């Protein structure tokens, strides 16, 4: 029977981020040419990053969406690096609150970003499949650093996250 092998492979994938330093994903950067002088950089926002992780309390999955904004100092990173950071950090036994904080800190440190905001929304197996069995519930957490921890800047990014509809898979097939 191959079930034990398949389970071992699945858990190896689920926990592939254990012991991995996500900051190595931010080593290749590109210089930002400031148009209007230092400190005038505008936020970069990547919305709709899908992720999955395993609750460290119950070893049940939680699935969600991450939205990440950062204000660069003098360096930019390729946009694909942000989902890669989410994937590495989410691929550990995790708590959603810690996940957001670790993503924010990795970006703040790795890019020397002037500000970082990470918004996570997830549905937790430990809430939907057991105990309270709240199948329609989701949990939203926010982690902020630097200039994006300021209420006005944070509000602007939160508005942008919800302001423009995310592209659907159907839109690309028409």
Q: Which listed residue (41, 67, 94, 124) is catalytic?
A: 124
Active site residue 24: no
d(CA 125, CA 134): 9
Q: What is the pLDDT of residue 65?
A: 97
Residue 17 covered by a domain: no
Active site residue 57: yes
Record the pTM.
0.87
Give residue 68's domain range: 43-165
Q: What is the pLDDT of residue 173?
A: 47
Q: Which listed residue (105, 121, 126, 156) is catalytic?
A: 126
Q: What is the pLDDT of residue 169?
A: 53
Q: Which stretch of 31-45, 101-115, 125-139 has the lowest confidence by average pLDDT?
A: 31-45
Active site residue 67: no
Q: What is the pLDDT of residue 174?
A: 43
Active site residue 150: no
Q: Which listed residue (41, 55, 67, 94) is catalytic?
A: 55
What is the mean pLDDT of the segment spanning 33-47? 75
Mean pLDDT of the chain: 89
Question: What CATH number has the domain bearing residue 149?
Answer: 3.30.1130.10
Residue 132 covered by a domain: yes
State how many domains the chain has: 1
Residue 102 covered by a domain: yes
Q: What is the pLDDT of residue 131?
A: 81
Given the structure tokens 């650093």, which residue do they identify?
Answer: 145
Active site residue 126: yes
Residue 104 covered by a domain: yes
Residue 128 covered by a domain: yes
Active site residue 97: no
Q: Which listed residue (67, 96, 101, 102) is catalytic?
A: 96
Active site residue 58: yes
Q: What is the pLDDT of residue 166?
A: 57
Q: Which listed residue (57, 97, 134, 150) is catalytic?
A: 57
Residue 148 covered by a domain: yes
Burial code (b: 16+ CB inside 10 Å, e: under 16) for 5-30 equals eeeeeeeeebbebeeeebeebbeebe
Residue 32 covered by a domain: no
Residue 51 covered by a domain: yes
Q: Other C-beta atoms within 10 Å of 141: how many? A: 17
């Amino acid at each position: 029977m191959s079930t034990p092998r398949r389970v071992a492979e699945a858990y190896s994938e689920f926990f592939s981020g254990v012991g991995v330093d996500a900051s190595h994903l931010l080593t290749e950067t590109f210089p930002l040419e400031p148009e209007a002088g230092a400190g005038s950089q505008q936020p970069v926002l990547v919305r709709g990053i899908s992720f999955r992780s395993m609750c460290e309390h119950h070893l049940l999955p939680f699935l969600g969406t991450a939205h990440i904004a950062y204000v660069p100092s003098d360096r930019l990173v390729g946009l694909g690096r942000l989902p890669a950071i989410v994937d590495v950090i989410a691929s550990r036994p995790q708590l959603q609150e810690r996940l957001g904080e670790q993503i924010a800190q990795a970006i703040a440190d790795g890019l020397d970003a002037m500000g970082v905001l990470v918004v996570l929304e997830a549905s937790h197996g430990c809430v939907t499949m057991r105990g309270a069995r709240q199948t329609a519930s989701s949990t939203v957490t926010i982690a902020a650093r630097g200039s994006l921890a300021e209420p006005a800047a944070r509000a602007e990014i939160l508005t942008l996250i919800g302001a423009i509809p995310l592209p659907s898979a159907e839109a690309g097939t028409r």
